[in-house]
Amino acid sequence: MPDVARLILASASPRRKELLERLGVRFDVRPVEIAEDAGLSKDPQIVASRLARAKAEAARLADEQAPILAADTVVAFGGRIFGKPADAGEAREMLRTLRGRTHEVVSAVVVMPLGQRSLIARQPLTEVTMREYGDDEIEASIAHGYPLDKAGAYGIQDELLRPVERYEGCYCNVIGLSLWAAIEVLRKAGEGVAVESVDFLPQCASCPLARP
């Protein structure tokens, strides 16, 4: 891809940056600011897709030509949509609500192709069951500041809290960007990714989204 057409990652998430780097795609990080309001919908796929689209559209206003990738993650449980906690109190409440229960995680990924305003999107859903962690473990995680920039106030890869007992679906989706979904939308957008060169995570081998 020529330098003038480098992919734009419209996200400030260090986890998405690390995951996208595994695809061997050259890109620039250019975060955008949007109102991350879930709105009236309680469907996590609708909410995540709408927010990811809003990020891509905001990024397009700043760059009329470059291809853009944007993503958004939401957690859903009991008819509620959980985004990032506003503070430690909200993080504590989220972690207590999710403890020992199964919820849904959606990380919508959208690509706006070179010079276009149309979007190609995927919104994988992963079911996650949390373990019965204690209040002291919640407080330790909060003290480290770990929950405050994550939807649902946790990370599946968190070695301190180790919040997840099991999951069904794409592991990377829970981190914030499904590698297989990203490959699919980038290919459809004409931003080719050589699968054989991808630095997959160990969990990607058994991912239900995997393609040969």
> By C-alpha distance, which of 202, 203, 212, 199 is closest to 20?
199
Which residues does 190 contact at the CB level (< 8 Å), separation at least 6?
A: 113, 114
Find the catalytic residue in 72, 87, 136, 149.
Answer: 72
Cα(202)–Cα(150) distance, integer angstroms: 22
3 state SS of 180:
helix
Which letter, b or e, does each residue of 136-148 get, where b requires 16 or more Cβ atoms within 10 Å of its Cβ? ebbeebbeeebbb
Q: Give the H/E segment covering residue 112.
A: strand 102-112
Asked if 63 is an active-site residue, the reply is: no
Catalytic center residues: 72
